A and B are shown apart, each in its own frame.
Chain A
Amino acid sequence: MMEPSAYLILSGILFAIGAVGVVARKNALIILMSVELMLNGVNVAFVAVGSYLGDPTGGIFAFMVMTVAAAEAAVGLSILIAIYRLKETIDITELSVLKW
């Protein structure tokens, strides 16, 4: 069984890319996709550590996260469609009515 460090570095890189995407991009669709990237970065870490320890819990958690992510994507996308129909844009800097 190989060391999990390479997997964990990959996981960290994926998570960081996703985080930067969430913070830096203005397109809400891209932000949703970046969130998926972060979740999957975490999934990699779960699976890697789980298989290193010979414990199936990590894999089970990865499946759990995927399920939730699927649901989240479905809800998020439908909200985006609704917003687009209303505002004709999904640029988050223009969707800022909920402020002081």
Chain B
Amino acid sequence: MVGPLSNIHEYLWLILAFPLAGVVLNGIIALVAERPLLLPADDHGHDDHGHGGHGDEHGAHHETPGYRKLVAFIAPAMIFAAFVVALLSVIQLAQMPAESRTVVQTLFTWIQSGGLSVSVALQLDPLSSVMILVVTGVGFLIHVYSVGYMSHEPAFARFFFYLNLFMFSMLTLVLGSSYLLMFVGWEGVGLCSYLLIGFWYEKDSASTAGKKAFVVNRVGDFGFLLAMFLVFWNFGTLNYTDVMARIPALQHSGILTAGLATAITLLMFVGATGKSAQIPLYIWLPDAMEGPTPVSALIHAATMVTAGVYMVARSNALFMLAPFTMGTVAVIGAATAIFAASMGICQKDIKRVLAYSTVSQLGYMFLACGVGAFTAGVFHLMTHAFFKALLFLGSGSVIHAMSGEQDMMKMGSLRKHTPITFYTMFIGTLAIAGIPGLAGFFSKDEILWKAYSSSHGSPVLWAVAAVAAGTTAFYMFRLIFLTFFGASRIDKEVEKHVHESPFSMTIPLMVLAVLSICGGWIGVPAALGGLNHFEKWLEPIFEGGHKAAAVATEALSHGATAAVHGAAAHHDPMEFILMGASVAVALFGIAIAYYLYMVRPEKPAKIAEANPNLYRLVYNKYFVDELYEWLIIRRIVNGSVWLWQMFDVQFIDAMVNGVAKTVRSAGDETRKIQTGVVGNYAFSILLGAVFIVGYLIWR
């Protein structure tokens, strides 16, 4: 390349600058043009929340105000520009030799205080390159989709203001070169998540869900923050490259013991469970579906919730030193995968099914990280971003067609009305179910294989994950059958308006469908004759972890703990057997779904009737929310009430009021000096004068 693009890595900052420009422009437009919406409502037509607005599609067409057209151009264009810069940067990165594929661009010094020096710097390496491509690529498609989906929304500019702010924060999270910058992005995306879940804030459930997400995430952030303190305390730096470089030295000097590594990584994982919705902090994600559907697709499926996986992968060298944490991550991941999948079975709301599915798939990613297969985790992160964004956007298109109806029991036979949505969603479902050839198959299968074969893995983890895969196939096909097949259960009034979505919504669906098919081909495992480019690409990142772990085991003279990918080098016939088994499990799940929802549609209700307690338990999500409510929230509320009534009112308020009362009564007494009689004042003056003169004379 020639000219100004000869070193695109000097322009890395543009990836952040474009979304930031979008934030500023859309923010100004939102403040100026949508100001009436911010004022107390009189009749701004917001009575019919969000989706409800779709109903008037066939009514009178109002002319689109100019500012909305401007916003509809700026917001996606900025993300597209960021995507182009990201793509060019990654292409140039790929042309560099594999060992030197880490580019750090320092922008400016942010904090300089004692031993702590934090500069705002961006780091492009194979791991962050995967993340920025997924974030900007999928993000751009979702922005385009949102232009169509939100076209009836009064607060159009505010929506894109938040969405661009999210993109900026997310890119800060993945491009930052230190844990502190990651934390900045981490908090930024948390804020945007809160703002967008509660986007329709007049609706009580939406604002409550936003608060819930924010508070639950705060619990996790606390862990991340403590982990950061520990890292800085022991390593003296927060930059990824410096931390990784200092690991061997600290290992030799005995500072970095397995105990310290376990403490740091466990605390980091607490942060990850909050952001990535793992047990025990997953409860906010299903409620987050109160937000607009593109938000669910972008933030709560494709990008933000994978931040925890990114953090674990980024810190792989530390995690590899802490076998206990690895075990915890793997067990929590597997447990979340199966637990959330089972909750998805009985849900009636189309978006909630997908929400539990997301929790479950994130569990897979953590399972992969926990058994040391970070590559597989990041690979699944990428393919999941494609097919889950597709599924969410598809569900949004269904909801759009149904004039805001989200209950699958009131859908059916939509295949005829919305063919594009159907075919694309069907592809996404095949991908998530793990049908061979599609993206989900390769990534999920790699995770399953590593769960079995890795030195950290075990057959039990494999079995749990395989059952979860079968459950996933079942509930996803249940969703497809209930929504698109069978007899129509659609409300008569709604049925008149059922229509396919506009091109701005269907084109992103089609692009994502193609990605859901092809996205896995870059990571075809060697056992299937593939080259597994993806694993080679990420190898430099995860090498350090394996080396560090090898040093640790050597020091403990534990003998041979085989390197994780050592087992994969020769083709184990077991790999094919397990592959076949997982496909069989998926097909079995699909078959059950077909039998229950196509052949004998009356059966599910009967099964539910036959096991009322079990059904109630699963339908109510195992009463986990209620358990938390009873176990934690009520304690906190009671404690707060006690603090308020006893401590605050009786101690703090009493103290403040006591001071005021004392001053007041003192004033009440002393003000009586002011008699109003001039003679008294004159006498005071005289007395004062005598004292002063007396002092001057006898001093």
Whether the pair A22, B686 counts as a contact (CB closer than 8 A) is: yes
* A84 CA to B42 CA, complexed, in Å: 63
Across the interface, B679 reaches (CB within 8 A) one of A92, A97, A99, A100, namely A92
Within 8 Å of chain B (Cβ to Cβ): is A65? no
Whether the pair B674, A23 counts as a contact (CB closer than 8 A) is: no
* A49 CA to B672 CA, complexed, in Å: 43
Instruction: Give the residues in chain B near A99, CB-CB below 8 Å.
Output: 674-677
Whether the pair B679, A26 counts as a contact (CB closer than 8 A) is: yes
**B678 to A, closest residue via Cβ:** A92
**B690 to A, closest residue via Cβ:** A19
Whether the pair A95, B682 counts as a contact (CB closer than 8 A) is: no
Q: How far is the CB of B571 from chain A (nearest CB, A)?
A: 100
Instruction: Give the residues in chain A near B676, CB-CB below 8 Å.
Output: 96-100
Q: How far is the CB of B673 from chain A (nearest CB, A)?
A: 8
Whether the pair A95, B678 counts as a contact (CB closer than 8 A) is: yes
8 Å CB contacts to B: which residues of A46-100? 92-93, 95-100
8 Å CB contacts to A: which residues of B677-699? 677-679, 682-683, 686
Instruction: Give the residues in chain B near A98, CB-CB below 8 Å.
Output: 676
Across the interface, A23 reaches (CB within 8 A) one of B671, B672, B675, B686, namely B686
**B668 to A, closest residue via Cβ:** A100
* A96 CA to B672 CA, complexed, in Å: 13
Whether the pair A96, B675 counts as a contact (CB closer than 8 A) is: yes
* A23 CA to B671 CA, complexed, in Å: 21
Whether the pair B677, A23 counts as a contact (CB closer than 8 A) is: no
8 Å CB contacts to B: which residues of A1-48? 19, 22-26, 28, 31
Q: How far is the CB of A26 from chain B (nearest CB, A)?
A: 7
**B667 to A, closest residue via Cβ:** A100
Q: How far is the CB of B679 from chain A (nearest CB, A)?
A: 6
Instruction: Give the residues in chain A near B674, CB-CB below 8 Å.
Output: 99-100
Q: How far is the CB of A89 from chain B (nearest CB, A)?
A: 14
Q: How far is the CB of A73 from chain B (nearest CB, A)?
A: 17
Q: How far is the CB of A86 from chain B (nearest CB, A)?
A: 16
* A31 CA to B679 CA, complexed, in Å: 9
Q: How far is the CB of A68 from chain B (nearest CB, A)?
A: 18
Whether the pair A23, B682 counts as a contact (CB closer than 8 A) is: yes
Q: How far is the CB of B158 from chain A (nearest CB, A)?
A: 57
Instruction: Give the residues in chain A near B682, CB-CB below 8 Å.
Output: 22-23, 31
* A92 CA to B675 CA, complexed, in Å: 11
* A23 CA to B682 CA, complexed, in Å: 6
Whether the pair A96, B677 counts as a contact (CB closer than 8 A) is: yes
**A96 to B, closest residue via Cβ:** B676
Whether the pair A100, B686 counts as a contact (CB closer than 8 A) is: no
* A95 CA to B671 CA, complexed, in Å: 18
* A22 CA to B674 CA, complexed, in Å: 18
Across the interface, B686 reaches (CB within 8 A) one of A19, A26, A95, A97, namely A19
Q: How far is the CB of B664 from chain A (nearest CB, A)?
A: 14
Whether the pair A23, B683 counts as a contact (CB closer than 8 A) is: yes
Instruction: Give the residues in chain A near B678, CB-CB below 8 Å.
Output: 28, 31, 92, 95
**A26 to B, closest residue via Cβ:** B679
Q: How far is the CB of B450 from chain A (nearest CB, A)?
A: 86
- Among B674, B675, B678, the one with the most A-chain Cβ atoms within 10 Å of its Cβ is B678
* A23 CA to B678 CA, complexed, in Å: 9
* A94 CA to B679 CA, complexed, in Å: 11
Across the interface, A92 reaches (CB within 8 A) one of B671, B672, B677, B686, namely B677
8 Å CB contacts to A: which residues of B525-557? none
Whether the pair A100, B677 counts as a contact (CB closer than 8 A) is: no
8 Å CB contacts to A: which residues of B603-657? none
Given the known inter-chain contacts A92-B678, A93-B677, please indicate yes or no for A100 contacting B672, CB distance below 8 A. Answer: yes
* A32 CA to B679 CA, complexed, in Å: 12
**A20 to B, closest residue via Cβ:** B686
A-contact 0/1 string along B455-466, CB 8 Å cutoff: 000000000000
* A95 CA to B675 CA, complexed, in Å: 11
* A19 CA to B676 CA, complexed, in Å: 19
- Among A19, A25, A97, the one with the most B-chain Cβ atoms within 10 Å of its Cβ is A19
**A28 to B, closest residue via Cβ:** B678
* A100 CA to B668 CA, complexed, in Å: 9
* A1 CA to B672 CA, complexed, in Å: 53
* A24 CA to B682 CA, complexed, in Å: 10
Q: How far is the CB of A18 from chain B (nearest CB, A)?
A: 11
Instruction: Give the residues in chain A near B686, CB-CB below 8 Å.
Output: 19, 22-23
Q: How far is the CB of B668 from chain A (nearest CB, A)?
A: 9
* A87 CA to B583 CA, complexed, in Å: 110
Instruction: Give the residues in chain A near B671, CB-CB below 8 Å.
Output: 100
Instruction: Give the residues in chain A near B683, CB-CB below 8 Å.
Output: 23
* A39 CA to B297 CA, complexed, in Å: 93
Instruction: Give the residues in chain B near A100, CB-CB below 8 Å.
Output: 671-672, 674, 676
Whether the pair B672, A93 counts as a contact (CB closer than 8 A) is: no
Identify 7 residue pairs between A and B in the complex whose beta-carbon atoms are under 8 Å apart, listed by A's number: A22-B682, A22-B686, A23-B683, A92-B679, A93-B679, A99-B676, A100-B671
Besides the known contacts A19-B686, A31-B679, A92-B678, 4 further A-B residue pairs in the complex with CB atoms under 8 A apart = A93-B679, A99-B674, A99-B676, A100-B674
Q: Nearest 8 pairs between A and B by C-beta? A: A99-B676, A96-B676, A100-B671, A96-B677, A23-B683, A92-B678, A98-B676, A100-B674
